Amino acid sequence: MTTSNETDTQRHRSTKQRAAVLAAVEGVHTHPSAEEVYRVVRKKIRNVSLATVYRNLHLLAEEGKIREVQFKGDSIRYDGMLEAHEHFYCTSCGAIEDLPSKLPATALSSLTNKLGVTIERYALDYYGLCKKCKSRKS
């Protein structure tokens, strides 16, 4: 047999585009969209294409180096924080705040047993108005 296995027949090469995309997501806490990542990466690599940004975002998410998140009515956004956590999403300006994970691990196992399902992950998202938007509207 070779050095590669069935689930890893294709090797990922290291390219400056890939590195720049990863750096762009890791460098902020704003949970940027693909478009926003694209704008940041373009500052380093002027002729990078949006398609390349999309491809690398997916690839990095598959590798587990970043995470994809999505809130109702918004586009997919990217998160460089890998530890389990929850989100607050502002329905007015789209700002996202990370929150420490609060869901007890027992909640997952009890569901696994009750429903006969396999749970890979969960998302606990709070929707509302952030501090700024709250005062702006009062």
Options 1, 2, 5, 11; binder of DNA; rule CB under 7 A: 11
By CB under 7 A, tell whether 92 contacts DNA. no
Q: Specify the DSSP class assigned to residue 64.
A: T
By CB under 8 A, tell whether 11 contacts a second copy. no
| Binds 103: which of DNA, a second copy, none (CB < 5-8 Å by kind) | a second copy
Nearer to a second copy, 23 or 76 (CB): 76
95 closest CA partner among 10, 53, 33: 33
Nearer to a second copy, 54 or 88 (CB): 88
CA distance 96 to 67: 14
Q: Which residues have CB under 8 Å from 115's CB, separation 6+? A: none
By CB under 8 A, tell whether 91 contacts a second copy. yes
By CB under 8 A, tell whether 50 contacts a second copy. no
94 closest CA partner among 43, 51, 133, 50: 133
